[in-house]
Structure formats: C-alpha cells, structure tokens
Chains A and B, each alone.
Chain A
Amino acid sequence: MTSLLETPRTQPSARGPRRRLVVIGNGMAGARAVEEILARGGAAQFTITMFGDEPYGNYNRIMLSHVLSGEESDADIFLNSLSWYRDNGITLHAGVRVDRIDRFTKHVFSSDGRVTPYDTLIIATGSRSHMPPMDGLYTPGGQVKQGVFGFRTIDDTRKMVAYAQHEHHRRAVVIGGGLLGLEAAYGLRSHGIDVDVVHSAGHLMSAQMGPDGGAVLRRSVEALGIGVLTGSRTTAVLGSDRATGVSLRDGTVIPCDMVVVAAGIRPNVDLAVLSGLPVERAIVVDDRLRVQDEDDIYAVGECVQHRGEVYGLVAPLWEQAVVLANQVTGTDTSALYLGSRTATKLKVAGVEVASMGLHGPELDTDEHIVFSEPSRGVFKSIVVRDNKMVGATLLGDSRKVAYLTRAYDHGLPLPEERIGLMFDLGTPDGDTGVADLSDDAQVCNCNGVSKKALVNAVQGGCTTVAGAMEATRAGKGCGSCKLLVRQVVEWAADGDVAEDPATAYYVPAIPLDKAELMAEIRKRGLRSVSAVFHALAPGGEDAKSKMGLASLLKMMLADQYIDERDARFINDRVHANIQRDGTFSVVPQMKGGVTSVQQLRRIADVAEKHNVPLIKLTGGQRIDLLGIRKEDLPQVWADLDMPSGYAYGKSFRTVKTCVGKDFCRYGTGDSTKLGIEIESRFQGIEAPAKLKLAVSGCPRNCAESLVKDVGVVAVEGGRWEIYVGGAAGAHIRKGDLLATVDDPEEVKVLTGRFMQYYRARANWLERTYAFVPRVGIEHLRDVIVNDSEGIAAQLDAAMQESVDSYEDPWEERTDPMTPGQFRTSLPLTVLPQVPVR
C-alpha cells in the first residue's frame, strides 16, 4: 500500500491551546508515528509525551543482528538520540513502563507513579520474544536461567555478546530456525561459538518459504558451520543454576553454554487487556488505526491486529504510521490502511533471502516455476496465478528482487517466457543486483551519475524515482538506465519509494495518461499545443511537455493539427539533427539504402560546394553530411534537391535492406523492393519515439531485421516474417514474431497497423522494445493480425490519413515558416549585426 502525502488542508489555529498526545512505546513504530506526525505540522497541534520501556532513545531493531555479529557497534543503530526528543519538544520518559490506561478519564498510569492525562493516545507497545513452554527455562525464583537469552532488545544483544566472549563459553543452542534464530546463530558463529539450531518445523524459515527452498537454505547454513536440527522440539533446558545443555523431544541431549530462544514474537498486549481494550491475537484496530470502539486511542506496529492480520515486519509498520499520522493530525482524514502485501528481502546468516506472497501453488491452475542449484545455494520459486505473480522465494541470488517486488506489488504483466522472471535474458527488465554495485559504480553512463550520487539524493529526501532523476540527472540521457535507476532508488529507500503519479502521465505538465489525454483532446476539440496547455495543464505551458504534445496532436489530427512551431524541438523546427557544436547534420532520403549515380554525384557536389566537414555513412544505409550551419540548411537542401530522410525526429526513420534476390545468390525475396515501398509509404510518420525498420531477403538477416522496431525477413516459399520490438542500440532485444504472411502487400498493411497501434498506445519516448513486451506479443497479435478488438480498419484509416498528409519538410527552404527560422544561434559565426538607426 502506498500513501500519498497531501499538503495539510486545515491546520488548527497554531495559537490555540495544543492538545495532549501521549505515545506508549518508543520503538520503531512509536517513534516513526511521531516522526510522521511532526512532518505534518503535529508540533503546532500537540504537546507530545512518549513512554519507552527501554532506557534509551529509539534504535533500529532490525540491525541488532549486525550488532551481535560485530558488523556494527550498538551506537551505530540509534535512529533518534535523546537530543532529538528535546529538539522536537517531546517529553520522553525512557525506562518507564505504562501499567494502565483509564480510557474514561483519559489518563495513563506509569511505573514511576506518574499520572499523565491525554487527549489522544497512541499505543505502540510492540512485541517480545516468545518463550515456548519447556522445563528448566526459569530458576525457582522465576528469573530466566543464566545463559538463556531472548533476542529482542539492545540489552539482550549486549548480554549475549558479553556472554559469548567469555572464554569458557564454547557452545550455543539456538531454539528457532526462523529469521531471527538464523541471525542469532550467524552472529554467535562470528564470535567463534559452535552453534546448533533446533527448529520445530520440518524446514528452516518455514514462515517464509516452502520445504525445497528450506533444504537449499539448510545447505548454505550448514556450510557456515552451523548445525541444523529440524522437526525437533526442545523440551527442557538443563543445568541447575545456569544452562548446561538442552534436551529434545526424542531424548537427545545437546550440551551447551548458552541457549538463545528465538521462537517467534508475541505482541505486547498486557497493558491493553488490563485497560479493557479489545484484544484478540493483538490489539484490534480499524482502517484508521483506531482501537476498535475508541475515539481517541490509536495503535500501531507489531502490537496491532488489523483485519485479522498481525505483522512482524517493518514495512507494514511504516505504512501504518503514515495513515495514523494523517488521521491524528487531520491532514487527510480519508487516509485508510487497507493492509500490507509483505515482501521480505534480507540477508539471513549471510544468505540473500527474499520472500513474498505464496510459497507454493495452491490452486490446480497456479503455475509454479522453480529453479534449484543447491551447490551454489541458489533457489528460486515463483507462483503465477492468472498471469500475475502471487508469490516468490529467492535464495542466494537477489538480482531480480527489485523487479519481482514491483511485479508483486503492482500486478505487472509478466514476460511470456517465465524464466525471464528469474534470470536476465537481455530484456530491458534485466537488472544487476543493485545491492552488489559498488558506491562509485556508474549507473547513468550518459550523465555520469554514480550509485552513491543517487543514494545521496534519496537520503536527501528525494522519495520518488522522478525526483531522484531530476536531482541527479540520472536517466536523463539515452534513458536506457531508467530501470536500473529505479532499482537503485528503491533499494536506497529500502522499498519506501513514494509512487510518483506523474510516471503515468503522457507529458509531465498534464495529469492524464495517454488514453485519458487523447479522450480529453477529442472531447474538447483541441487542435494546438497551446490550446491543450490552456485547457488541461494545471500549471500552464511547460517546456518539457511541448514536444510530446506536438507529436501526439500531429498523430491524432494529421492535417487538422494547428502547428505551432515553438512547440517543436529545434530538430523539428529546422528538419535537421543538432550536433554538439550547434551545427546540424543533413541526411537526404535514400529509400531502402538504394542510391544512384545522379544522387551520389549531387551529394558529392553539395559536400564540395559547402565545404562539408564530415561525410559519413549511417547505420541506416544513408549518407550523412555533418557540420552544416543552420543558416546554410535551406541552400544545402536546394542544392541536394532530395527529400528529407528524417534522421532527426521522433518518427519513422528508414528501412534498411539487404541486396535481395535480384543479385544475392541466397536471396529468397525481393527485400530491396519491399523496403523501398515501405519507406515510400510511411516516410516521415511521427511516433512517440523513433522507428527503425529493415527488410532482409533471407534468414541470414543481413539487414539485421531481428533487432529493428519492425523487421521483415523473407523465408523460403515466398513467405515473409514480421518481427516487432527489436533493438540493438541502448538495449539489445530480439524482436517478437508478429506474423508470417504470403504477400508483400500484407506486410505493408500489418506494418502500418502495428505502427499505428504503437503510435496510439505507447508512452512518450517509449521505444517499441519496451512497448512490445509491456503490451505482450500475444495481445499485439490478437489485435493486429486477428483483429480481436475490431479496430483494424480504424487503425488502417488513421495511418492512411497520416500517410496522406505527408509533405517533405525540406520544401520549407523557399518559404520559411517563422521569421528567422534558419537564423544562426551560434557564437561561432558572424551574427546579423545590430541594425543602426
């Protein structure tokens, strides 16, 4: 669940008397709730008093295992020091336990004899180690026997470290083979202690994974020198005054010097029960985090039961704290907590473990994809239901975790080849383990942004992917790193990334996705970019939205579009591609890469006459004249007298072809002829991103058709295969086979229909290599080949309209569209001098 923060709508008079907010519990939930309340202006509304059982500020309980293993010192894990409470005007009673709440007179009674009144109360008492029933756990005096430890608090941890470092203490038994137990075992092992883990269930981490994963984990844990006994219950702790061993249900005795009980946690509900609040497994709260039937008492964290669920992880707690703060401060009283989908990702005993949702298939129709490589400690299991991921377990290899977590949280469409969920197959979904990247690893290779820079941006408060990208410029170059940027940001924010609604917008200035935007444009009859801004953009005109809107309107309206030149990017204003020195490149059309003596001679003459600094063959089989000054463009075009090759726009670029059957001894189809026909038909068609095509005359694929936005391959028998969504630029992707057809005319129809569908549905700047896998090739095949939605005729007609409105933009050379359209903007040459009056 993701909560959107809204700016406070109403603030109670800051000058009025402040209400009294009392928080019972100073753990991660209580402190986080207070932080969220302060972030919503809570300091002006409330005087805040907090009670904490432990005599410290607030610390990160999750990191206790690192303290135990010595990877961090206990000072490192404090979140809020005592001065934080002072600085925020919070009265903290540390080391003071609240014994009772009088919910009628609205007071709390604490162990130091204090009686504290409240207007609003928050209970965040958390949970404690569960001590399962067994003999010999306690001394006759009722104290836990010496050498027996829970693993819950910083004091527990300090005592364990001290005890483990005692020279006579060589062996430990950890009761419980779950997350906490394995962490305890790993931590003790790093102090040189021999450790056995005794687990009552049949396999380790039984709450997070199925038996197969548990078996692989067991191998990894045993490889660390930790003994594992599963299906074994501890029945007694041996020793009279201190622990000397444990005995198991089957009679086995394991001698040891220390016993760590990590057999789960239980919510701390004694206070709530005593005070007459509703408690089942934990304190019962509603969707507002209010204790059932109480107007002024809220509860949050591990002590809470919400819709029957009790959570023991940190992510739900943070989501609860946001809703709670919105409610308590009145910032957003419509905020509701609807439960959490829990995904865990952690390092347990040095092993990467990620777990979310189901551990295995439950219905006959569930798909279960499993990969197991025990010798490397790698295990992956994914459960798919109705083409949505409903569960995953990953052990020993967390590379796909960020992607899978998103797929799980948002119900993303999945790759047809399910194995792509587990391994990087060269698709843009592929990711390296961001956790494993070094700090100085370059994430964005265009703008030179390191992982560290992104992490700093996140820690500096950029909680959205877009925000971090804006702050660092990561992903603002070719865009091929955007997925990695997203993963780094998610990792840095530890999953606490605010979903940026703007990612769904077609252009940043208008809060509508593409379909909604197109519907509004049609409904209102908008025909120009300025009219769209005026009608639909809350903040008015926006430079970064102009180009996308201009392209969209041209696609939708063809010759009905009112073309405002300022909405275009410079390339589209002057029909050439701007270069690093501010000059332009000129690429005349050369259909299918086929040229003639006359064309070559003319190009040579133009290059000579204009002293063209560089003549270069392009990847799309054309000739590029580079270094042309803007003011020279009209003359260059006039001298060339060839149409534009559109080597500058978000548009149909070119069709690369091979020699084809006329000359090639292997050729099976006339690829050059078809390539020329396709280029003649679709020249200059604008699209959300550029379109590069190819036609190959045989499966040897000399025109590289398999890595083009649309690639056609002639196969024996006079048939043609059409591939879509290929790429060999910032990404490598083999195109998906859309159809195999008999007739070149059919190739043109399907190519046009696919491109129109892409134009109508793709996001701005989304290349086909991202669009095709997002939509799915099967869906595309249904719509485009089988016409399952009955829109084929409509798509064909829209494409025909665009084809009919084609004009060679280089004809503007004789009649500039705007004053000074081709006037230099460069300091390199003599500019028009200031007129003298």
Chain B
Amino acid sequence: MSAGTATGGKAHVLGPVEQIPPGEGRAFAVDGGQVAVFRLRDGSLRALPAVCPHKGGPLADGTIDLNVVVCPLHQHAFDLATGCSTTGAGNLRPYEVLLDGQQNLVLQMPV
C-alpha cells in the first residue's frame, strides 16, 4: 500500500482494486486526464500519467515489475515510484494512490 495518508489535493475514488489484475496496469480517466494505475505483485499500488513522454505510448499496457514499467512501444522504462525514466526518456510526475476501507482505489491529485 502506498505509505501515509493522503494530504492536500483532491481525492478521486476509482472503484474496486479488482479492476486491475496483479502485475498489470489499467488506465483511468480522471479530471479530463488519464492516469495509469499499477497493481504490483506484492500488492502495492503505483500511479503515473498514462502517456509515455517519448512517443505517447500507453503505459498501462506496459510490462511491470516491482520497480519499473516498460512502455510497450519502444521499451522506455520508468521508475514506478519516482516517475523518472531509467532509459533516458523524459520523466513523469507520480501520483499517490491507495486503498480505502472498501478496497476501492483512491487517487490523490496534486493541488
């Protein structure tokens, strides 16, 4: 689970965590933008902007491990926690995501 409680910004409830199979990601439309939410195999959650800064690839379709997501188009990799590219593409700003009491995904948008 993401550590700590959500602070500031606006919280969006994205629905049940079961929408995302373990080890995969799914895209969600939030506030007119798109967010890729990943459910790691250890159960923790990560969220990044859904669009690869390199050539616009859909990051929710990427392959992940506990540290990075690899974009399906040109295999650029991004650190899931920091959003930083490990392969020299642009960086992404990560979002905070956690579960509420009903096992719903809650995305914390920055202020």
- On A, residues with C-beta under 8 Å from B are 447, 470-471, 473, 476-477, 530, 540-544, 546-547, 564-567, 569-571, 573, 578, 580-582, 630, 818-820, 823-827, 830-835, 837
Contact = CB atoms under 8 A, between A and B. Distances in A.
A476 B89 CA distance: 14
Interface of B: 12-15, 18-30, 33-34, 36, 41, 50-51, 55-70, 72-75, 77, 87-88
B26 A578 contact: no
A570 B87 CA distance: 20
Given A473-B88, A566-B21, A582-B58, A834 B15 contact: yes
A476 B87 CA distance: 11
A109 to B, nearest CB: 55
A564 B23 CA distance: 9
Contacts of B33: 827
A834 B20 contact: no
B26 A823 contact: yes
Contacts of B50: 825, 827
Contacts of A541: 41, 65-66
**SS class, residues of chain A in contact with chain B:** loop
B66 A540 contact: yes
Contacts of A567: 23, 63
Nearest to B38: A566
A580 B26 contact: no
Contacts of B72: 569-571, 578
A546 B63 CA distance: 8
Contact of B58 (A471, A543, A544, A826): A826
Contacts of B51: 827
Given A447-B74, A819-B19, A825-B60, 18 more contacts: A473-B88, A477-B74, A530-B23, A540-B66, A541-B66, A543-B64, A543-B70, A546-B65, A547-B63, A566-B21, A566-B41, A567-B23, A571-B72, A823-B26, A823-B27, A825-B50, A827-B27, A831-B29
A582 B26 contact: no
Contacts of B58: 582, 825-826
A582 B61 contact: yes
Contact of B29 (A447, A530, A833): A833
A705 to B, nearest CB: 32
A819 B20 contact: yes
B21 A544 contact: no
17 contacts: A541-B66, A542-B65, A546-B63, A582-B57, A818-B21, A820-B19, A820-B20, A820-B21, A825-B25, A825-B36, A825-B50, A825-B59, A827-B34, A827-B50, A827-B51, A834-B15, A835-B13
Contacts of B88: 471, 473
A566 B19 contact: no
B28 A831 contact: yes
A832 B41 CA distance: 24
Contact of B87 (A473, A573, A581, A820): A473
Contacts of B55: 580
